[in-house]
Chains A and B, each alone.
Chain A
């Protein structure tokens, strides 16, 4: 088990954001320690993706505070988030369909030659290396990602997040399109990265999978945090009732 007593890697405090009249995230506080996997659960539209998009720089919060390694962090763009070694696998995957896997993997961070030109061959070689590790069946390196299956696209997005030695990894439903075998590989990958000391936010609708992979789970409903529990303290039914009823049975008890 990871050490959850020291300074958290990430602290998000009292985060709020509204879109028009919709309060998508309403005063949520969560934290994440190094070597820990924190799961986010909740019904569709609960605000999970919105919350982590604030951390990844895609959205800017209306109010709240983010601390990284105990220091106040200002994240106003995806670039800022990258500077804090935050990598994200978005639910939508965020791939440019017309480009091939290497171009997507290195998008925004291209490898360049000494003359400043993009080094496609080097990027292709690096992509082959990481893909050989993550998904040995992946062969369509040079094809536009629009020609890939949903699962293959997902492995490109995962490779992109893993390649750059993130400290904080955000995975928004990373296994949604994956087959049994590939899902197992992602689970192994999460264990491996966790052992390396990364902090991981994981979003998924698969409660059982979450209980296996996560150290703690946080449940959201209608933009608010229902509760955060250590997985060994709760049963699958507890979690389900938190999601459905929006009440923490342990608090009621």
Chain B
């Protein structure tokens, strides 16, 4: 207690606007940094950076790393690390691409058969999950440090992928698979409004339900107006985002091809927007699921407890070895999902798919506030971290910064962000 604080105890504690709204100041700082980055690039690109078109591209470029970053949060929270996510992505991508273009057709499935996509996707996800389990087993049950296991995996899986494909680029991919990439798989305006509306309603409902639950237990709640502001902010940003992506019109040439594919002619003057990409819906689904797992399930509780104090977790009857297997299985599955999104966006599987992704993913999680000492981190933070990284990279590309300098800047930003975070934590007295 400082003297200043004690001498004022007679006055009722004044609550700032932020305290009343109970907004996480850390999140606010990140959003602020993100907006600042956007505005700076927007200025230097004469408004192109914040055009609907660029925001659409930025979004679909972020998805793959963001999906993996949510899994990396669990890995880092449990005091581990995964250096193999990029290589694992490449291996799962190779499996899926080979199934689509070589193996399944080789087994007699016609190219374009509706069975190819589901089979390839399921096999890819299973591959990711199994390799993740194996990593988790080596780390949890054989007590090999995660750093070593995944450093080995970093080499093993990328070159295992190379052997699968004989180093060739594999394509073309199945038409259904391409839907998961972004620009080919879009909902269109009507469906985007429906999905956006549902998500907005859902967020308002969630805020309302949480409040009702608190009231039922006689816990203090924030004032109704504060709750309303939060609900309006959440719903507003979802609907605003939907509107933005709907306002990015599909180019005429592509529209004509889409109409021709259905045997119709493109009417004169017809325009329609892209709307939400399917890959973004996948990311939203992953984000919601992972957040629920983190906050509302025993698994999530045990992940954080183990990260905070592994001995205490063990003494509380938590099987921390099995937990490690589960965490790495989740990570592996998410790598496979990212592989699907990445290969669909690039429209083929190439050897270098996912190169350096391990660093981007770890950086996203760390910029998003996941502490390498374990025990703390958020899913939304990691996604925002991925978005910030991608914005900086794309923005510099648009401004015309040389590629080598881009990497220098991204590396410096990572260190800078973590430094800021340390200073913040020290100031706020959080660990």
A and B associate in one complex: yes
Determine whether A201 belongs to the interface, using a CB cutoff of 8 Å to chain B. Answer: no
Question: Main SS of chain A's interface residues?
Answer: loop
Determine whether B309 belongs to the interface, using a CB cutoff of 8 Å to chain A. Answer: yes
A: contact size bracket: 20 to 34
A103: which B residues are within 8 A, CB to CB?
A: 301, 305
Contact partner, B304, options A96, A116, A122, A146, Cβ 8 Å: A96
A99: which B residues are within 8 A, CB to CB?
A: 301, 304-305, 308
B317: which A residues are within 8 A, CB to CB?
A: 77-79, 82, 108-109
| Cα distance, A45 to B42, chains bound together (Å) | 66
Contact with A along B212-228 (1 / 0, CB 8 A): 01101101000000000
A94: which B residues are within 8 A, CB to CB?
A: 309, 311-312, 315-316
Determine whether A245 belongs to the interface, using a CB cutoff of 8 Å to chain B. Answer: no
Can you name the residue of chain B whose Cβ is closest to the Cβ of A110?
B298
| Cα distance, A112 to B300, chains bound together (Å) | 13
B309 contacts A95, C-beta separation under 8 Å: yes
Determine whether B275 belongs to the interface, using a CB cutoff of 8 Å to chain A. Answer: no
Can you name the residue of chain B whose Cβ is closest to the Cβ of A160?
B316
Whole-angstrom distance between the Cβ of A203 and the nearest chain B Cβ: 16
Whole-angstrom distance between the Cβ of B134 and the nearest chain A Cβ: 25
A108 contacts B296, C-beta separation under 8 Å: no
Candidate in A108, A121, A146 with the most chain B CB atoms within 10 angstroms: A108
B313 contacts A96, C-beta separation under 8 Å: yes
Can you name the residue of chain B whose Cβ is closest to the Cβ of A78?
B317
| Cα distance, A122 to B218, chains bound together (Å) | 11
A122: which B residues are within 8 A, CB to CB?
A: 217
Determine whether A132 belongs to the interface, using a CB cutoff of 8 Å to chain B. Answer: no
| Cα distance, A94 to B314, chains bound together (Å) | 9
Contact with B along A103-120 (1 / 0, CB 8 A): 110011110100011100
> How many residues does chain B have at the interface if contact means C-beta atoms less than 8 Å apart?
30
Contact with B along A210-240 (1 / 0, CB 8 A): 0000000000000000000000000000000
Contact partner, A107, options B216, B296, B316, B431, Cβ 8 Å: B316
| Cα distance, A88 to B305, chains bound together (Å) | 18
Indicate whether A108 sits within 8 Å of B297 (C-beta atoms), given known contacts A98-B307, A122-B217, A146-B431.
no
Determine whether A195 belongs to the interface, using a CB cutoff of 8 Å to chain B. Answer: no
A97 contacts B431, C-beta separation under 8 Å: yes
B298 contacts A90, C-beta separation under 8 Å: no
A109: which B residues are within 8 A, CB to CB?
A: 317
B219: which A residues are within 8 A, CB to CB?
A: 121, 124
Chain B 21-70 residues near chain A, CB threshold 8 A: none
| Cα distance, A90 to B298, chains bound together (Å) | 23
Contact with B along A136-173 (1 / 0, CB 8 A): 00000000101100000000000000000000000000
A124 contacts B316, C-beta separation under 8 Å: no
A-binding residues in B (CB < 8 A): 213-214, 216-217, 219, 292, 296-298, 300-302, 304-309, 311-318, 375-376, 429, 431
Q: Which 4 pairs, one residue from A and one from B, show the smallest C-beta to C-beta distance?
A: A98-B308, A96-B308, A108-B316, A98-B375
29 contacts between A and B (CB under 8 A): A56-B315, A79-B317, A90-B315, A94-B309, A94-B315, A94-B316, A96-B305, A96-B306, A96-B309, A96-B312, A96-B313, A97-B309, A97-B375, A99-B304, A99-B308, A103-B305, A104-B305, A107-B318, A108-B316, A108-B317, A110-B301, A116-B297, A117-B296, A117-B297, A118-B301, A121-B214, A121-B216, A124-B219, A147-B429
